[in-house]
Amino acid sequence: FGTSHGRWAQRAVLGDLHCGEMEPQLKLVFYTNTGKEETKFFTEQPLGLQFPDKMPIVIRRIRQGSQAEQLGVELGWTMQSIGGRQLDGMTIAQACATLHEASGPLRRCMLVRKPPLDAQSVTKLSAKLHSFEEAESVPLLKRFGYAALSAKSWETTVELPELHLGMIDGCREISNPRHHTWYAINGKIITGKGATTRQWLVERRLAHIRTLLHHPVKQELGKAYSHHFEKARFACHGAPPGTFTRIASWLAALSKAINSKALPPALVASILVFLEAPLLDENAGQVALTDESLRALASNEEAQREGESCEQDSVGNNSPRGTDDETSDHTTATTTTATTATTAATTTTEKQEEEEEEEQQQQQQQQQ
């Protein structure tokens, strides 16, 4: 989906398929950085390949833990063909349409949740999510693959599933009805020592993550919070630079805390509900990865820096000949000041909205 940040595009690359004897396979041919031809066969999607929204398709990022990483695809490789179909002469839109159209038989391994655009505030999202009593947490956790004795104690004879939480390195902006930034959280639950793996993607605002995830965890752990999150400070209000990295680091620490049984079952159940984790009987193959879901999530900070750099170069290249350095510096300074002022105003507004939503949520909890 679209974003106002930068010019990068992340696409879950699909493509023409080569069906082997066991299961469908996707054949992608690359040119390496040394000009050597490399062929890779993929068996699941999304692949985890990220590239700029232009031709030729040059791999700029590889999602950690993806099949692309497992197969040894490297940064800087240029995609040459898909299932024998050459990309020469295609536009980026044609290439991506070709990949998407031919993706049917490839095994789908990730659930993509629809963003709750009708519940953008913390209060509305809290009301929208499934609420449950503590007594219901045990049977609820069982549906996720977790075994608990009660709302406060775990089953000691059974290993918990292995939970991994991270971030898709990007975000998108939605301005209807109000301007908000949505972050894509990537989750994975491994059960039975790798026997089954469920992956999913869910979008949340920073205010959602702070109020409905961070606050309950910090309150539950008390003084022990600093032990589990010592090197994972949570994001600041207003989403300043560094927000994405902080959220990703914090989610990774949260995963470890859950896997070590540091959090009680009832809270883990509420976390899985908040993240819309897939149930055991949910088949990832039943959920189609739509074009909107697979379209590029632009990487936030690095993409912004690259976008700003390109814009500055463009201004310099288009400046009339004979313009002196002082005039150019003045123009750049004015533009930078205006951009900084706009960013500061947006940050202040989002911070105020987050604080107001948190206060409303706390008031409701006190009333309950």
**Is the pLDDT score of 254 beyond 70?**
yes
Percent of the residues in the chain that have a pLDDT greater than 90, as a whole number: 39
What pLDDT shows up at residue 287? 37
Query: What are 197's strand-pairing partners?
Result: 190
Burial class (CB in 10 A: 0-12, 13-18, 19+), 28: buried
Lowest-confidence segment of 37-51, 82-96, 142-156 by average pLDDT = 37-51
**Cα–Cα distance between 249 and 235 in angstroms, integer?**
10
Lowest-confidence segment of 31-40, 81-90, 161-170 by average pLDDT = 161-170
**Is the pLDDT score of 262 beyond 60?**
yes
- As a whole number, the mean pLDDT across the chain is 73
Lowest-confidence segment of 81-85, 89-93, 320-324 by average pLDDT = 320-324
Instruction: Tell me the one-letter amino acid at 134.
Output: E
| Residue 263: both structure tokens together | 């959090």
Highest mean pLDDT among 302-306, 307-311, 320-324, 350-354: 350-354
What pLDDT shows up at residue 130? 74
Residue 280 has a CB neighbour count (10 Å cut-off) of 14
3-state SS, one letter per residue, for the chain: CCCCCCCEEECCCCCCCEECCCCEEEEEEEECCCCCEEEEEECEECCCEEEECCCCCECCEECCCCHHHHHCCCCCCEEEEECCEECCCCCHHHHHHHHHHCCCCCEECEEECCCCCCCCCHHHHHHHCCCCCHHHHHHHHHHHCCCECCCCCECCCCCCCEEEEEEEEEEEEECCCCCEEEEEEEEEEEECCCCEEEEEEEEEEHHHHHHHHHHHHHHHHHHHHHHHCCCCCCCCCCCCCCHHHHHHHHHHHHHHHHHCCCCCHHHHHHHHHHCCCCCCCCCHHHCCCCHHHHCCCCCCHHHHHHHHHHHHHHHHHHCCCCCCHHHHHHHHHHHHHHHHHHHHHHHHHHHHHHHHHHHHHHHHHHHC
**Is the pLDDT score of 138 beyond 90?**
yes
What pLDDT shows up at residue 187? 92
**Residues 40-76 pLDDT 10s:** 988 777 777 888 889 999 999 887 667 788 899 999 9
Q: What is the dihedral of CA 303, 309, 312, 314, to 10 degrees?
A: -80
**Is the pLDDT score of 219 beyond 80?**
yes
Predicted confidence band at 211 (pLDDT cuts at 50, 70, 90)? very high
**Residues 92-114 pLDDT 10s:** 988 888 777 766 666 766 788 88
**Cα–Cα distance between 222 and 217 in angstroms, integer?**
9
What pLDDT shows up at residue 358? 55
Q: For residues 174 and 138, which has the higher predicted lDDT (pLDDT)?
A: 138
Angle at 42 between CA 39 and CA 44, to 5 degrees: 170
**Is the pLDDT score of 280 beyond 60?**
yes
> What's the whole-number mean pLDDT along residues 311-339?
30
**Is the pLDDT score of 309 beyond 90?**
no
What pLDDT shows up at residue 356? 56
> What's the whole-number mean pLDDT along residues 68-85?
90
Predicted confidence band at 168 (pLDDT cuts at 50, 70, 90)? confident
**Is the pLDDT score of 22 beyond 80?**
no
